[in-house]
Amino acid sequence: MMSVGILFGMLFGIHWESLSFHLLGIAMLLESEAVESFTPLTFDYNTQVVVVGTSLLGFAGGAIGVLLLLRKRALIGDAIAHATLPGLALAFFVATALQIDGKSLWVLLPGAAITGLIGAMTVVAIRTFSPIKEDAAMGIVLSVFFGAGIAMMRIIQQMPDGYAAGLEGFIFGKTASMRFQDAWLIAVSGATIIGLLVLFRRQVELMCFDESLARTQGWPVTLVDIGLMAATTTIVIVGLQAVGMILIIAMLVIPAAAARFWTWRLWPTIATSSFIGCIGAASGAIISTMAPRVPSGAAIVIVLVILFSFSALFGRKNGTVWRWARRYQQRRETDQQHLLRSIYEWLELKGSKPHDFGQTRSESFLLNDLEFVRNWSPLRLARTANRFQRDGLLLQLSQNRWALTATGIQQCVRAIRQHRLLELYFAQIANLSPEAIDRGADYSEHALNDQMLAELERDIAGASIGYAVPDSLHPIGNVQSLNHQSRNEANP
């Protein structure tokens, strides 16, 4: 129930593009009462901690993800995440050698952060000091660091207290091991990142959209870039427990990419992305606590992918459904104009072309005959004609016999004038061949507005034409339909 509500909230909230709405929604979600009343199930204290912690993580990850996406660095997060594994293992080795508890997060996470940053710097170093391209550099760092980590993990498993080290939990994520102070850790790092983002918003904005301008204005772009890498590493490190190193990249990439379907402005995108990340992480964590065998990272990613697919389908910017609707609408309008033109052409061929003054109804015609001038399926013809009848442009006299009404005649003459004026334009100005003239006019006539039409009348046709319809520059109808026609006449 709740999730449906949230999805609708997203749809409308983002339609208004109001920042305050998102913040309100997130604040409501984060209040403990709201979490408690989230589902009819009552959550214990530990689950509440996990849900609040992961949703904060999703929030911060969504925000940073947008910047990474705009800097086209999305997958650097993946390289950093995989590079944390040797750090975890090394930290465990060192702690055990120093007789400290090697499973403490205060030991493991700094180790992970160090190798994570080394991984990020290695990508930059490889790109700078060798001819190797960035994609290969990322793949190399990702797999080689991970390999080193795996090799060390195998050795840790042989150590006396290594089996219970629980380092595997960091690979796929294990929210069950999350404690209160871990949620605090995420909250503090997330708040710091968001705070810095707000503080340096102008630099960030400039850097994302016009790096060279930022440089010429004297902003320390490299420093801000390093800050972005540090923020990414922080998100990855604190997210290791909840999501795991393999899938943490999804928290950075998916919300940001989903937000692109709702808005193209920077700060609304960041707000939307944070919101999606927050919802996805929280619901994933809840699913994983309810179904303990599902790794929490996988659950979060699946929810995020569902939210992404929803955005890709229904997003106001370039969403598939809207795009299809627009295309359908466009095709319908094109069909209508083409049919009107065909009716005129057919009536003209028969020597009874309609006049848009004084005539209340055109000569009647058979719908089948229109196939001669426009090679459509009978179904498409009938569908378009029926639509015209509803709009009062056509009149059905009998089963197959139709006529234009007065309004229909006006629209019909307008359509044919538009087409033929364009043909004239193409013939006189662009010097196209007759076939190309018809095709060109066919494509572009639908984009004409009244002003352009008036210009065409003035410049191309001149005073000589008056309000009359120019003659066609090419024979009307096609050979195939002509055969069809004669066959029909042979066997009535």
Which residues sit at the interface with other proteins, rule CB under 8 A? Answer: 69, 72-75, 78, 82, 126, 129-133, 135-136, 138-140, 142-152, 154-155, 158-159, 168, 171-172, 246-247, 249-250, 252-254, 256-257, 260-261, 293-295, 297-299, 301-302, 304-305, 308, 312, 318, 320, 323
Q: Token digits for 410? A: 């006006």
Task: Using alpha carbons only, give the angle 444, 445, 448 rounded to the nearest 5 degrees.
Answer: 100
Shortest approach of other proteins to residue 14 CB, angstroms?
15
Shortest approach of other proteins to residue 119 CB, angstroms?
12
Alpha carbon distance 444, 411 (integer Å): 18
Q: How many residues does the chain have?
A: 492
* 126 vs 271, beta carbon nearer other proteins: 126
The three-class DSSP label of residue 395 is strand
| DSSP labels, 427-488 | IIII---HHHHHHHHHHHGGG--HHHHHHHIIIII-GGGTTSPPPPSS--S-HHHHHHHHHH
To the nearest 10 degrees (0 to 180), the angle between helices 76-97 and 134-156 is 30
* 8 vs 264, beta carbon nearer other proteins: 264
* 239 vs 408, beta carbon nearer other proteins: 239
* 58 vs 354, beta carbon nearer other proteins: 58
Alpha carbon distance 342, 415 (integer Å): 10
Specify which residues 394 forms β-bridges with: 404
Specify which residues 403 forms β-bridges with: 395
Q: Which H or E run contains 276?
A: helix 266-290
* 186 vs 254, beta carbon nearer other proteins: 254
* 126 vs 204, beta carbon nearer other proteins: 126
Shortest approach of other proteins to residue 155 CB, angstroms?
5
Shortest approach of other proteins to residue 79 CB, angstroms?
10
* 155 vs 482, beta carbon nearer other proteins: 155
Spatial CB neighbours of 194, under 8 Å, sequence gap ≥ 6: 59, 60, 63
* 276 vs 456, beta carbon nearer other proteins: 276
Alpha carbon distance 456, 387 (integer Å): 30
Shortest approach of other proteins to residue 384 CB, angstroms?
29
Shortest approach of other proteins to residue 351 CB, angstroms?
50
Task: Tell me how far CA of residue 161 lies from CA of 78, 150, 242, 320, in angstroms.
Answer: 30, 17, 23, 53
Shortest approach of other proteins to residue 123 CB, angstroms?
12
* 142 vs 469, beta carbon nearer other proteins: 142
Q: Token digits for 406? A: 């007065």
Rg of the chain, C-alpha, whole Å: 33
- CA nearest to 366, candidates 351, 380, 377, 382: 382
Specify which residues 401 forms β-bridges with: 366
402 φψ region: left (φ > 0), alpha (ψ -120 to 50), beta (else) = beta
Shortest approach of other proteins to residue 308 CB, angstroms?
6
* 143 vs 217, beta carbon nearer other proteins: 143
- CA nearest to 75, candidates 212, 254, 226: 254
Shortest approach of other proteins to residue 316 CB, angstroms?
13
Alpha carbon distance 487, 108 (integer Å): 85
Shortest approach of other proteins to residue 315 CB, angstroms?
9
Shortest approach of other proteins to residue 68 CB, angstroms?
8
* 293 vs 390, beta carbon nearer other proteins: 293
